[in-house]
Amino acid sequence: MKQPNTLTRRKLLQLGTATAAALPIAHILITNPAQADDLPHLGSDNPTAVALGYVEDTTTVDKAANPRHEDTQMCSNCTLIQGNDGDEWRPCAIFPGTVVSANGWCKSWAPKA
């Protein structure tokens, strides 16, 4: 008779191993400056970007739709930004496989700790 708990535990271990193996690779792909330079800019047609109101220039944010937005809030000082300080285009944890403008903004903006 099959023991479902053993199978579940085995699958969890396999998933954990696969995830642990993939994380360093994902980190390298996201944070390696050479890779970041090769990534496409986040497009305004990206459905997640549209849903989060992403703009490449924080000063162009719709103030009526985002009353708590301030022009000092931008991707370069967001806790979700990745890559190198000072780069004009950088990876963001919300938009894998693309880079966002350092001067950009979206509704997920949160200050760096």
Binding site for ligand SF4 (CB under 6 A): 54, 75, 78, 80-81, 92, 94, 100, 104-106, 108-109
For ligand SF4, give the closer residue by CB, 7 or 102: 102
CB atoms within 10 A of CB 28: 10
For 91-113, give the DSSP string.
-BTTSTTSBEETT-B-TT--B--
CB 39 within 8 A of CB 101: no
Question: In the complex with ligand SF4, which residue's Cβ is closer, 35 or 103?
Answer: 103
* Cβ closest to ligand SF4, residue 89 vs residue 105: 105
Q: Which residue has the tokens 């330079």?
A: 37
Closest approach, Cβ 57 to ligand SF4, in A, equals 12
Shortest distance, CB of residue 100 to ligand SF4, whole angstroms? 4
